[in-house]
Amino acid sequence: MIQTSAKKIVIIGGGFAGMNLAHQLNNADEFQIILVDKNNYNFFPPLIYQVATGYLETSNISYPFRKLFSEQENATFRMGEVVRVLADKNQVELTTGILDYDILVFATGTETNYFGMENVKQNSVPMKTVEDALFMRNTLLERLEKASRETDPAVRKKLLTIVVAGGGPTGVEISGMFAEMKKLVIPKDYPELIGSNGEIYLVDGLKAVLTPMSEKSQQYTYNTLTKMGVKIKLDHMVKDYTNDVVSFANGETIEAKTLIWAAGVTAIVFEGIPADSYGRGKRMLVDAHNKVVGTENIYAIGDTCLQTTDAAFPQGHPQVAQVAIQQGKLLGKNLKNMLTGKTLNAFTYNDKGSMAIIGRNKAVADLPSPKLHFDGFLAWVAWLFIHLLSLITNRNRFKTLYNWTVAYFTKDQSLRIIVKPGRESFDNS
C-alpha cells in the first residue's frame, strides 16, 4: 500500500533508464512512483528494425506499462508528454495534466537528428520508434507492390533502390537485413522483380562503419556487407534529399525512392530547465549522482544526460543501453541511501562491450576486458542470446524466439502485411 508520506518520484520516460529506476524501487513503501510516457507501452529499440522488415511483430518487442506495474504496488502510469517544468512549485505540466513531485527524473532518451536538413526530415524514413518501424514496413511493402506493376525499368529501379544513412549498428543491421531479403525473399514473393537491379546503399560521413568498435569489427562488417551486395559509401555526408535524389556534400547523387535515416540523434530541451543546464547534443549536464546541474531535486539518466565526472569517460558516456540501465539502477539505490542518510555512490560505467548483427550467422562483438574481438557465427549466437534476455518479459522472449526460429529454418517470415489505421482515434487529447 502506498503511504501518503511517501516521497513522490515522477519519472519522465519508460525506456531502459526509466524502467530500471522504477524496478529498483519496486514496492519500496517510502517512494510513490509515477512513470510518464507518451506511449502506453515499453519497447525494445535494438529490435525496431526487425519489426520494420517484417521479421518480428510489434508485440514481440513491446509491453503495456500498466501491465508491467500491475504487481508493483508503489508505481502507477500516466500517459502524456512534458509541456514545461514548474521547478519553483515542484510541478511538471503534461499534455494530460499537472503532477506534483518531490523528485523529478528525466529518462527521455533521444529523438532523430536531421541536422537542420528540412527536406531530409520531410522525405526520409526515420528509424527510432515503433511508429517509425510500422511506417517503414508499410512504405517498403507498398513500393515493392508498385514496382511489381511498373513497366519502366528506370522507375522500377528507383522504387527498389534504398539508401540507408548512418553506419552505426542500426544502419549496419538494417542494411544486412535488406540484403538478405533481396536475395531470399523478394525472388519468391515478387518473381516479376527478378533482375530489376534495385540497389542497397549504406552511406556515412565518417571513414568507417561502426566507428565506436574495433578495427577488426569495422573491417569484417565492411567486407561482409559488400559480399552481401550492399554498396558502401564512406566519407559521404548527406546534404539534401528532394525529388527522389539523395545529394552528398561531395557533389555525388543517388536516385532512390527510399532514404532511411539512421544517421544521428539529439536529446530534447524542456521548458523550465535552465539553459545553462544543457551541454553538447542538448543533453542535460549532471553531477556524479545524476542530479541536473543548477537544480535541487531534478535528475537525468540515460541518453538525455551528459556526465563528465567518470574518469574513464571525461567527454561523457556513449548513448547506449547499458549506460541507461546502470544509471537507472544506481539512482534507485542512491535515492534509498538519501532517505537513510547513507553515502551516495558516484556513477562509473562498467563497459560490457559492443555488438552488431550483420545478417544470418554474421555478427561482430568486442569485449573490453579482456580486450577481445570475435565475429561470425559465435558472435551471431551471442547477439541473439543477449538481446533475447534483454527483452522485458518472458512473453516477449518466447514470441521473439519463436519468430527467429521460424525465420532461421525457413529463411523467410510471414509478417509482411500492410496495415494502416483507417481513421484517427476519437480522442487525440
Report how far residue 228's alpha carbon sits from residue 407's, in angstroms, rounded to the nearest whole number: 18
Question: H-type helices in 391-423, by residue range?
Answer: 394-410
Report how far residue 280's alpha carbon sits from residue 314's, in angstroms, rounded to the nearest whole number: 13
**Longest CA span, the chain:** 74
Query: Beta strand pairing status for 265-266 and 200-203?
Result: unpaired
What residues form DSSP beta bridges with 364? 356, 375
Distances (CA, A) of 390 to 52, 338, 374: 19, 29, 21
Distances (CA, A) of 373 to 208, 213, 220, 274, 367: 17, 10, 11, 43, 6
Query: Beta strand pairing status for 75-79 and 31-37?
Result: parallel
Query: Beta strand pairing status for 91-94 and 284-286?
Result: unpaired
- H/E element, 160: helix 153-160
User: Any catalytic annotation for residue 173?
Assistant: yes
Given 173, 199, 215, 271, which residue is catalytic?
173
Three-class DSSP category at 211 = coil
Gyration radius (Cα) of the chain, Å = 23
Q: What are phi and psi of 403, to 5 degrees?
A: -65, -40
- Side-chain half-sphere CA neighbours of 258 within 13 A: 30
With cell 555525388, the residue in question is: 252
- H/E element, 224: helix 215-227
Give the Cβ contact number of residue 337 at 10 Å. Answer: 14
Beta strand spans in 80-181 (E): 82-86, 91-94, 97-100, 103-106, 111-112, 125-126, 162-165
Distances (CA, A) of 90 to 103, 199, 273, 404: 8, 54, 12, 47
Contact 293, 277 (CB under 8 A): yes
- Residues with a catalytic annotation lie at 173
